[in-house]
Amino acid sequence: MKQTDVAGLDADRRLAVLHGEDQPVPAGWYADPTPLTPRRLVPPFPVDALPSWMAEQVMAVAEFTQTPLDLPGCIALAALFTAAGGRAELEVRPGWREPLNLYTVIAMPPGSRKSAVFAAMTAPLLAAEQTLVERVRPVIVEAELARKIAQRDAERRANDAANARDPQARAEALASTADATTPPSPPSRPWSHRCRG
């Protein structure tokens, strides 16, 4: 491949040179005309803009699955944003705040190994979710048990109040305490509706 100085060329021309598709510019032309076909050279996925650990994973998955960097790169962006989702807001103007959202769409022909790349890139999210579920499970069990005990106690007090003319307010207070005792819910899967394979 011949060496070409690409410093003074525009972005499309520079990409053409880098991809080895440079054609001599006809005399009288200042630059290549814009092609009328849908085929355009696009810049490579900016892996270097990702954190180093994520860039290494993107490159490793792309190499292992023999897919373009764009595929694991886009899924990496979605995964990173899913992990940070709900923790950042944008103040459009004073008093108007919006949660930050990122939506990615990956369109490739069937058999392009999208599922394998998706599984590899979302595996850390699934592992983190499983860890959170395991961590909160004892708390949920304890809260559910406390709620059942409070409900049974409220029912017993209500029965005592009906049979022995116990103050009804006490039974109502216990019943409302039982209703107010709610166990925490397990961690949700925010990525499941954001990251679809």
Sequential DSSP letters for the chain: ------TTS-HHHHHHHHTT---PPPTT-SSPPPPSSS----PPP-GGGS-HHHHHHHHHHHHHHT--THHHHHHHHHHHHHHHTTS-EEEEETTEEEE----------TTS-HHHHHHHHHHHHHHHHHHHHHHHHHHHHHHHHHHHHHHHHHHHHHHHHHHH---HHHHHHHHHHHHH--PPPPPP-TTTTT---
115 band by pLDDT with thresholds 50, 70 and 90: very high
Q: Which range has the worst mean pLDDT, 50-64, 123-137, 140-154, 160-174?
A: 160-174
163 band by pLDDT with thresholds 50, 70 and 90: low
4 band by pLDDT with thresholds 50, 70 and 90: very low
